[in-house]
Amino acid sequence: MKEWQKFVLYLSVFLAAYLIPFSNPRVEVATLEAFKMLGDYAREHVLFCLIPAFFIAGAIAIFVSQNAVLKYFGSSAKKWLSYSVASVSGTVLAVCSCTVLPLFAGIYKRGAGIGPAVAFLYSGPAINVLAIILTARVLGWELGVARAIGAVVFAIIIGLIMALIYGKEDAEREGVEFGGFEEEERRSGWQNLLYFANLVFILIFAAWAMPQSPEGFWYAVYKVHWPITFALLAILAYMLIRWFTTEELRLWVESSWDFAQKILPLLLVGVLVAGFLMGRPNTNGGIIPAAWISSIVGGNSLAANFTASIVGAFMYFATLTEVPIIQGLMGAGMGKGPVLALLLAGPALSLPNMLVIRSVMGTKKTVTYVTLVVIMATISGMIFGSIVG
């Protein structure tokens, strides 16, 4: 961190401590909500979502060759292949806007094109199967279908626009040599596939949330998700002992730790800020009352859809939590158009998410990405609201 950045940080902390009226009851509640939200986040997401994601990102950075990444995600790869793979990647990963960040950072730093990488970044939290099914079941099949279609289309269009704007910079990035082991030299293709598939399944089952209804397939899996996770960990241990050298494992751990120390502090600060502003889900404890939000997102006006997109973009949603939150807002009079806008902008973005994206690909690209998501969510909400009434 540069000296002027340190000065700005110190000054901001001082001004906040000096000017914020902590004795005000509303501020006291919002401050407590911020730390409660941080506690919830640490308990529910760090151990079983973020840590597996960090290890997957570290594995990508060390064991996946640059040529393998560029084959499917490079700017020179066939667009139909790269964008098809990237836009549906979220169907196999039930991750939130923060958990997907280490995976995005891993493939982007490894040389993936900005277009496919951003398509993956958006699709990861936006179109996981659990969220789509829960949306259709709780909020109605129309919103479930619209969310699924909108998310895939968003991922492709936003990725193509980002590639169009920043394509030249991508071409320069592809000339960079990346360090790390070429996994193909020591392990066969099926071993590589099994290794990465095992890591992904550990992430999925370790983070498997308890469904609202104690019945059906999702609940049946929830009851056995820990035995499955431990079995997968045992399989991983066997793979690491038999297929990897000590030096490779050391580099894998170092790479995973590098991602963790770069990303985790920004996430925690962002969660604190989000908790202070809006509070935890269904608590109305933030400095901004939930009633204010619901009162201005009724109907299907441009202002309502734009506001829903902005609120969704900055508010933090853990995986699947957006559904009960929006269910409450719909009960308070939120229109279906703004609901879709919030569903398309919210799970894919958050304040913590933006801070980390900026550290990976810079301010200009981050602003462009966020702007595209908000604009497209607003337009989609208005179209959907006009159709369903």
**pLDDT, tens digit, 9 for 90 and up, residues 191-238:** 888 988 898 888 888 878 777 777 788 788 889 999 999 999 999 999
Query: Is residue 229 assigned to a domain?
Result: no
Query: Is residue 84 assigned to a domain?
Result: yes
Mean residue pLDDT across the chain? 80
Helices (H), the chain: 3-19, 25-41, 51-63, 66-73, 79-87, 100-109, 114-126, 129-139, 141-173, 189-206, 216-223, 225-243, 246-278, 290-295, 302-314, 322-331, 336-345, 351-361, 363-388
Query: Is residue 13 assigned to a domain?
Result: no
Does the structure show a pLDDT above 70 at 76?
A: no
Query: Is residue 15 assigned to a domain?
Result: no
Average pLDDT over residues 164-171: 76
Does the structure show a pLDDT above 90 at 67?
A: no
Average pLDDT over residues 58-75: 68
Q: What is the pLDDT of residue 60?
A: 75
Which pTM was predicted?
Answer: 0.67
- Determine the residue type at 160: L
Query: Is residue 238 assigned to a domain?
Result: no
Query: Is residue 180 assigned to a domain?
Result: no
| pLDDT (tens digit per residue) in 274-292 | 788 777 766 777 787 767 7
Indicate the number of domains in the chain: 1
Instruction: Tokens 């990346």: give the residue.
Output: 178
Query: Is residue 58 assigned to a domain?
Result: yes
Query: Is residue 234 assigned to a domain?
Result: no
- Determine the residue type at 167: G
Three-state SS for 12? helix
Can you give the residue range of the structural domain that contains 306?
26-171+245-388
